[in-house]
Every structure is written in structure tokens, then in C-alpha cells.
Structure 1
């Protein structure tokens, strides 16, 4: 269980950092991180980190369908987490 929590911590930190980096890149007008990469980081366990970064950095909050897909990923992960916790 601790290995899973460690993985989730790293995945969420990576997603948070990537969203922050992408926002910084957008402001500076330099090469950006593709949306597919940001969504992949979220789907790989970093949904919470990505959603938090979206709010903290005010990044891609109105960009559709990105924002809806991100919320769907986070919601699915939350449902899965609740299900798994209820089984133990």
C-alpha cells in the first residue's frame, strides 16, 4: 500500500509541476507542453494534482474540451479511490 501511495504522490506532483511549467511557458511565449501529455499525467494517477494546479495557476480553466476531460479523469479516480477504500 505504501508503494501505491508513493507512486500517487509522485504522479500528482508531476502533474502539478507540468501544469505550472506549461502556464509559465504560455506567459513567456515559449514551447508548450502538449495537452495530451498533461491529460496523460492526470490519467496516470495525477488527477488531483492537475486539478489543483489548474485552480492555483488559473490555467486552462476555460479551455474546452480539456477542462471537462480533466474533471472526468479526476472524478473517475475519486470514485475508484472511494470504492477501493470501502472494500478494505
Structure 2
């Protein structure tokens, strides 16, 4: 991360209304963090990776709803995340 060897990130994603958001976040977040970390400080990269994960997941949910004609109130997954940046 940020070309530094002694920076580590640990996190967990706890889904609600199903596991979709937590599973998506667990897969996507590390890649977003890695991409952003090369142009940002570690703490800013962590923040931006969470924001990007949220934006991309919401877009995916929107596409799914349209393709399956799901009524919004019937399917609205989410998750809580906790992360630690250790430098």
C-alpha cells in the first residue's frame, strides 16, 4: 500500500438483509484500496475505497433491480464494515 511494506489493513463486512453486500464488499474492497493507494495517503485511500465500494455496489443493485423488476422495498441489502489500518 502506498509503496510501503509496513502498512496493513484488516477488515470485516457484516451483511444485513442477506449476504450480498458483505460478499461484494469483501471481494471488491481490496482491489479498490490497492488501486487508490498508489495515488493517496493510506488513511485517504482507506476512506476512498469504502466510498468507491459503496458507489459501485449501489450501481450493481440498481442494475439487478431493473433486470429482475424487483420492487425497491423488497430487496435492499447492505452491510456494516469495520477496518483497521496499521502502519
**TM-score after normalising by structure 1:** 0.37
Name the structure where strand makes up a greater proportion of residues.
2
* Bigger radius of gyration: 2
Name the structure where helix makes up a greater proportion of residues.
1
